[in-house]
Amino acid sequence: MKFRSIKGTKDILPAESAAWQSVEGVVRTVMADFNYREIRTPVFEQTSLFARSIGELTDIVSKEMYSFLDRGEDSITLRPEGTASTLRAYIQNNLAEQSPMVKLYYLGPMFRQERPQAGRLRQFHQFGAEAIGSTSPQLDVEIIAIPIEIYRRLGISDSRLKINSVGCEKCRPTYKELLTIFLLNLKDRLSPESHLRIQSNPLRVLDSKDENDIRLTATAPLIKDYLCQECRTHFDEVRRLLGAINLSHEIDGRLVRGLDYYTKTAFEVTSASLGSQDALAGGGRYDLLVAELGGKPTPGVGFAAGLERLLIVLDKLGKNNFIETSPDLYLVSLDEATRQWAFVKAMELRGKGMRVELDYLSRSIKAQMRDANRQSARYVLVVGEQELKSGRGKLKQMSSGTETEISLENIAVPQ
Ligand code: AMP
């Protein structure tokens, strides 16, 4: 029987690991520069946590969650995103008691039962950050700036920032009514999916990818034109601050994002290097969510970004030349006695922090040299009977071919 990985999941093979590790390294460095601390939450949670926060009527909760009964009793779900778990942990562990302002980041796998296609997987990885405790527009802009700074450090030049305000509990209901009336006038001309959403989640109709829907809703009222004074002032300040740090952006009045919990700022970063799934990162403010999940009313803002899509963009832009680690030294042995010696010596040198490889297949000297070359070993030391007897050998630098005589007792390779 042959086993295959599940549709929509991917093995990250050793040849790709250097890219993953480098990108993750940049993510961690930038998060540290912005003073966000890492949180690692379980990959599964109570289903109701996601239903409550993301929203029952969203695509994620209504059709994309991996949910199952734990021993036939509790419904649990593999996390489809990171914000709900992070806030659950924030509330449960009283993180607010330690500081009124908490800045957290995460990085890890997420699970959604979506139709797999380029840039869309069922197990994918996200990094993201949450700034909890303040309504300051500075934090909206800080949160937007984090993924953009990560992309800048990785050499991505084609990212675009789109922002919108989705209003708050004060101004959204009136706007929703207006939009619903507009949409009801279009009735059956909308796609069946959008038609269904008119009552359940009218804002999402503006998010439809259906060309006919887009044409029909071209003159739909947009929330940004119906904001209350507080939301308008907040949005203006976010835009002013983006300007102050030279982050160019465009307003996209149709940007509503697929999750219910956003208030005020919503944003998305896209890349022209991606196809139809062009979002690299997205996020926004969620001032009501902590209370919704049972915590003290606390404002917050956050983002999530896809790692696979980031790697696709790096690939397309030719910025993916990450260097894999390779052995400092390859010990070539010629017979049983030197193989024994090489094994013990390799262990000793590895214990001192040297990257050492040796031959485990009793190959010929030529095959071992080829292997050392293939593995990009920086130095090779060939040890035979003669070398063991004299206690001296020739250390060969692979890039130049230069050989230096050294003592086998005291092996060191120049950095
Ligand atoms: P979301 O949580 O839906 O706002 O997604 C945030 C980011 O995660 C997106 O901009 C993508 O980069 C990435 N992402 C979301 N869903 C998937 C998926 N199914 N496969 C790969 N990446 C995804």
Segment 216-236, tens digit of pLDDT: 999 999 999 999 999 999 999
Q: Whose CA is nearest to atom 17 of ligand 1?
A: 120
Q: Which whole number is the average pLDDT over 108-126?
A: 94
Tell whether 271 and 392 lie within a shared domain: no
- The answer, yes or no, to whether residue 296 has pLDDT greater than 80, is yes
Q: What is the pLDDT of residue 130?
A: 98
Segment 309-341, tens digit of pLDDT: 999 999 999 998 898 899 999 999 999 999 999
Tell whether 264 and 368 lie within a shared domain: no
Q: Which whole number is the average pLDDT over 20-43?
A: 98
Q: Domain boundary residue among 294, 316, 338?
A: 316
Find the Cα–Cα–Cα–Cα dihedral 203, 207, 210, 212, rounded to 10°. Answer: 60
- Ligand 1 closest atom vs CA 80: 2
Q: What is each CA distance from 365 to 84, 334, 371, in whole angstroms? A: 57, 7, 10
**219 part of a folded domain:** no
Q: What is the pLDDT of residue 116?
A: 87
Tell whether 98 and 245 lie within a shared domain: yes
Q: Whose CA is nearest to atom 8 of ligand 1?
A: 306
- Which tokens belong to 143? 């949160």
**213 part of a folded domain:** no
Tell whether 248 and 389 lie within a shared domain: no
- The answer, yes or no, to whether residue 65 has pLDDT greater than 80, is yes
Please tell me if the CB atom of residue 60 comes closer than 6 angstroms to any atom of ligand 1: no
**189 part of a folded domain:** no
Confidence grade of residue 60 (pLDDT, cut at 50, 70, 90): confident
Given ligand 1 and candidates 164, 265, 277, 278, which is best to mutate, with the most ligand atoms within 8 Å of its CB?
277
H, E, C per residue of the chain: CCCCCCCCCCCCCHHHHHHHHHHHHHHHHHHHHCCCEECCCCCEEEHHHHHHHHCCCCHHHHHHCEEEEECCCEEEEECCCCHHHHHHHHHHCCHHHHCCCEEEEEEEEEECCCCCECCECCEEEEEEEEEECCCCHHHHHHHHHHHHHHHHHCCCCCEEEEEEECCCCCCHHHHHHHHHHHHHHHHHHCCHHHHHHHHHCHHHHHHCCCHHHHHHCCCCCCHHHHCCHHHHHHHHHHHHHHHHCCCCCEECCCCCCCCCCCEEEEEEEEECCCCCCCEEEEEEECCCHHHHCCCCCCCEEEEEEEHHHHHHHHHHCCCCCCCCCCCCEEEEECCHHHHHHHHHHHHHHHHCCCCEEECCCCCCHHHHHHHHHHCCCCEEEEECHHHHHHCEEEEEECCCCCEEEEECCCCCCCC
Q: What is each CA distance from 156 to 22, 152, 231, 325, in whole angstroms? A: 14, 6, 32, 24
Q: Is 0.75 topped by the overall pTM? A: yes
**203 part of a folded domain:** no
Q: Which whole number is the average pLDDT over 31-41?
A: 98
**Length of the chain, please?**
415
**220 part of a folded domain:** no
- The answer, yes or no, to whether residue 178 has pLDDT greater than 80, is yes
Q: What is the pLDDT of residue 275?
A: 81
- The answer, yes or no, to whether residue 258 has pLDDT greater than 80, is no
- Ligand 1 closest atom vs CA 258: 3
Report the domain count for the chain: 2
Please tell me if the CB atom of residue 380 comes closer than 6 angstroms to any atom of ligand 1: no
User: CATH code at 110?
Assistant: 3.30.930.10
Residue with tokens 């869309």: 120
**24 part of a folded domain:** yes
Tell whether 33 and 60 lie within a shared domain: yes
Q: What is the pLDDT of residue 58?
A: 82
Distance 306 CA to ligand 1 centre (A): 5
Tell whether 309 and 388 lie within a shared domain: no
Distance 89 CA to ligand 1 centre (A): 22
- The answer, yes or no, to whether residue 371 has pLDDT greater than 80, is yes
Which residues form the domain of 33?
Answer: 14-171+227-316
**284 part of a folded domain:** yes
Amino acid at 21: Q
Tell whether 231 and 146 lie within a shared domain: yes
Q: What is the pLDDT of residue 118?
A: 84
H, E, C per residue of 17-51: HHHHHHHHHHHHHHHHHCCCEECCCCCEEEHHHHH
- The answer, yes or no, to whether residue 73 has pLDDT greater than 90, is no
**Residue 76 to residue 51: CA distance in whole angstroms:** 11
- The answer, yes or no, to whether residue 183 has pLDDT greater than 90, is yes
Tell whether 303 and 334 lie within a shared domain: no
Q: What is the pLDDT of residue 197?
A: 86
Please tell me if the CB atom of residue 231 comes closer than 6 angstroms to any atom of ligand 1: no
Tell whether 340 and 375 lie within a shared domain: yes
Please tell me if the CB atom of residue 309 comes closer than 6 angstroms to any atom of ligand 1: yes
Average the pLDDT over each of 121-135, 179-193, 294-308, 343-357 and give the range with the smallest value.
179-193
Segment 142-158, tens digit of pLDDT: 999 999 999 999 999 88
Of 351, 349, 375, 348, the residue nearest 359 (C-alpha): 375
- Which tokens belong to 59? 């695509």
User: CATH code at 339?
Assistant: 3.40.50.800
Q: Which whole number is the average pLDDT over 360-368?
A: 97
Q: Domain boundary residue among 290, 316, 342?
A: 316
**Residue 199 to residue 22: CA distance in whole angstroms:** 46
Please tell me if the CB atom of residue 207 comes closer than 6 angstroms to any atom of ligand 1: no
Q: Whose CA is nearest to atom 3 of ligand 1?
A: 258
Tell whether 390 and 276 lie within a shared domain: no
Please tell me if the CB atom of residue 124 comes closer than 6 angstroms to any atom of ligand 1: yes
Q: What is the pLDDT of residue 284?
A: 97
**Residue 372 to residue 413: CA distance in whole angstroms:** 15
